[in-house]
Chains A and B, each alone.
Chain A
Amino acid sequence: NAGVTQTPKFRVLKTGQSMTLLCAQDMNHEYMYWYRQDPGMGLRLIHYSVGEGTTAKGEVPDGYNVSRLKKQNFLLGLESAAPSQTSVYFCASSYFRSAGSEQFFGPGTRLTVL
């Protein structure tokens, strides 16, 4: 099993450009999450999904959109990138709904917006 994979690993954008980050998991997990990690701020939840076709806002959703058309994939989109979106983005998934359920993380995508 590959676990949670993220594409691409690195990306540089110019302000105003758009892009989509892809997260895929092969563990048949129902729940998927997108986080951003910034120095000194830990990880913050952007959007999450509790199942195929459903998405919800997290702590810092502004400037991002998501889609979960297939159970195994969770896409994060930036329609018009801004320098404030320079960050490392992590996708995670979990099998159970319970708050005690472990989340499995991907290796991250390092995004720079110039």
Chain B
Amino acid sequence: AQSVTQLGSHVSVSEGALVLLRCNYSSSVPPYLFWYVQYPNQGLQLLLKYTSAATLVKGINGFEAEFKKSETSFHLTKPSAHMSDAAEYFCAVSVNTGGGNKLTFGTGTQLKVEL
């Protein structure tokens, strides 16, 4: 079975600073990895996904993530935080099992952006 660990349930950065949200996965087969963002009182929105094409994945709103197989990691970064980035971020993993794309989510990281 696959799993995801997100280190840090709360991360606080200053506006303009680097954003780094950590995600490590566990999977016995090649995984597909996702980052979703949830703004207050809304559903989840896809930021980016890794599907084995390129290890550095660029997403929306200036976010990117790098798949590192040797470290089993898929950390999310953004060079310069903006106030509008304040939200909860979820890392998720999915594998091909023949039964549809069931996602396994991490516990989430709440990002706070301060002036």
Contacts and interface: CB of A to CB of B under 8 A. Distances in A.
Given A90-B43, A98-B96, A105-B43, A48 B105 contact: no
B29 to A, nearest CB: 9
B107 interface: yes
Interface residues of B, number: 27
Interface string A22-51: 000000000101000000111111001010
Contacts of A4: 43
B96 to A, nearest CB: 4
Contact of A106 (B34, B43, B100, B103): B43
Nearest to B6: A42
Contact of A107 (B34, B36, B43): B43
Chain B at the A interface: mostly helix, strand, loop or mixed?
loop
B12 interface: no
Contacts of B100: 31, 48, 50, 94, 97
Contacts of A31: 100-101
B9 interface: yes
B94 A99 contact: yes
Interface residues of A, number: 28
A100 B101 contact: yes
Interface string B45-78: 1100101100000000000000000000000000
Interface of B: 9, 32, 34, 36, 41-46, 49, 51-52, 90, 94-97, 99-103, 105-108
25 contacts: A4-B43, A31-B101, A33-B102, A42-B90, A42-B107, A43-B44, A43-B90, A45-B103, A48-B100, A50-B100, A94-B100, A94-B101, A96-B101, A98-B96, A99-B32, A99-B101, A100-B49, A100-B51, A100-B52, A100-B101, A102-B46, A103-B46, A103-B101, A107-B41, A107-B43
Interface of A: 4, 31, 33, 40-45, 48, 50, 56, 58, 90, 92, 94, 96-103, 105-108
